[in-house]
């Protein structure tokens, strides 16, 4: 892997954002709105019972982490879509750029935009609502890393789907975080879900993260085993998603889909 080629992919995205700062707005706007909305909800809930402050921290933490995952996932897909929108796949894949270099560039772009979103959310949660995530202690870091990996994996998978199904399939990708959220048990314990949903939830690293987060807020010990399972799942999913992208790309090269990838839908 040549770092200069990875840097080229990253530089291209930087040029786009510098030329059109509106591209950066989605990176933090929706997350900021969610933090404000849930900040007031939790402030209201805090007035209802003695458990209010604990509940508030749990809910706002969940909102922040879930938004972070969504930003990471969409960070990867949006960077990929830039090449779809500008019909650049032919120029790109006729170069010495390896798939691993390209995907690494997309992921680094996503990390940069995800970091901006996270900073805005943390600043808002602390500044406007006086909530400190220090309560989670060091556990906050592995929580973030696991969600980051899951977001990366899902972003790569989603990009592969659009590469295979064509630009028109983009609409399938945007609602993925919303579709997953009931299974990820972001705002409630896993035990609330019916059995079949719990079975699906156990395949999703975020479900373990949010269970772990609730355990810490409730004063229980650090859920090391839960997080280890989540981390292993997330790593496996990133590797599987990358293998899927490579498989789809090879298929596109074999079938000719890549060379004629400019139609609205390539079926």
Contact residues for other proteins, defined by CB under 8 A: 2, 4-5, 7-9, 11-12, 15-16, 19-20, 82, 86-88, 90-91, 93-98, 250, 253-256, 258-259, 262
Chain CA centroid to CA 188, Å: 20
Of residues 119 and 255, the one with the C-beta less far from other proteins:
255
Of residues 122 and 246, the one with the C-beta less far from other proteins:
246
- What are the C-alpha distances in Å from 245 to residues 186, 217, 250? 28, 38, 9
Contact between 161 and 172 under an 8 Å Cβ cutoff? The reply is yes
Of residues 83 and 211, the one with the C-beta less far from other proteins:
83
In the complex, minimum distance from the CB of residue 103 to other proteins, in angstroms, rounded to a whole number: 14
Of residues 4 and 191, the one with the C-beta less far from other proteins:
4
In the complex, minimum distance from the CB of residue 15 to other proteins, in angstroms, rounded to a whole number: 5
For 95-131, letters b (16+ CB in 10 Å) and e give eebeeebbbbbbbbbbbbbbbbbbebbbebbeeebeb
How far is residue 169's CA from residue 183's CA, in Å, rounded to a whole number?
23
- What are the C-alpha distances in Å from 258 to residues 20, 71, 116, 163, 246? 28, 27, 33, 8, 13
Contact between 71 and 144 under an 8 Å Cβ cutoff? The reply is no
In the complex, minimum distance from the CB of residue 98 to other proteins, in angstroms, rounded to a whole number: 6
Of residues 2 and 225, the one with the C-beta less far from other proteins:
2
In the complex, minimum distance from the CB of residue 80 to other proteins, in angstroms, rounded to a whole number: 13
In the complex, minimum distance from the CB of residue 148 to other proteins, in angstroms, rounded to a whole number: 25
């Amino acid at each position: 892997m040549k770092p200069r080629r990875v840097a080229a992919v990253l530089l291209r995205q930087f040029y786009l954002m510098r030329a059109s700062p509106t591209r950066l707005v989605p990176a933090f706007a929706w997350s900021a709105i969610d933090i404000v909305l849930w900040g007031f909800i939790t402030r209201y809930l805090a007035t209802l019972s003695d458990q209010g402050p604990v509940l508030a921290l749990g809910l706002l933490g969940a909102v922040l982490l879930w938004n972070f995952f969504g930003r990471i996932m969409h960070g990867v897909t949006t960077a990929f879509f830039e090449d779809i929108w500008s019909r650049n796949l032919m120029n790109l894949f006729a170069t010495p750029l390896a798939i691993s270099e390209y995907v690494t560039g997309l992921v680094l772009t996503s990390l940069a935009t995800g970091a901006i979103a996270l900073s805005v959310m943390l600043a808002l949660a602390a500044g406007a609502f006086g909530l400190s995530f220090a309560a989670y202690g060091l556990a906050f870091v592995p929580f973030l890393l696991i969600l980051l990996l899951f977001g990366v994996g899902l972003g790569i998978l989603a990009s592969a789907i659009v590469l295979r199904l064509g630009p028109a399939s983009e609409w399938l990708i945007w609602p993925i975080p919303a579709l997953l959220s009931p299974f990820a048990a972001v705002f409630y314990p896993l035990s609330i879900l019916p059995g079949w949903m719990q079975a699906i939830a156990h395949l999703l690293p975020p479900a373990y993260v949010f269970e772990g987060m609730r355990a810490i807020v409730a004063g229980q010990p650090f859920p090391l085993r839960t997080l280890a399972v989540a981390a292993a799942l997330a790593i496996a999913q990133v590797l599987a998603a990358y293998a899927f992208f490579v498989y789809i790309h090879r298929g596109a090269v074999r079938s000719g889909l890549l060379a004629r990838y400019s139609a609205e839908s390539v079926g």
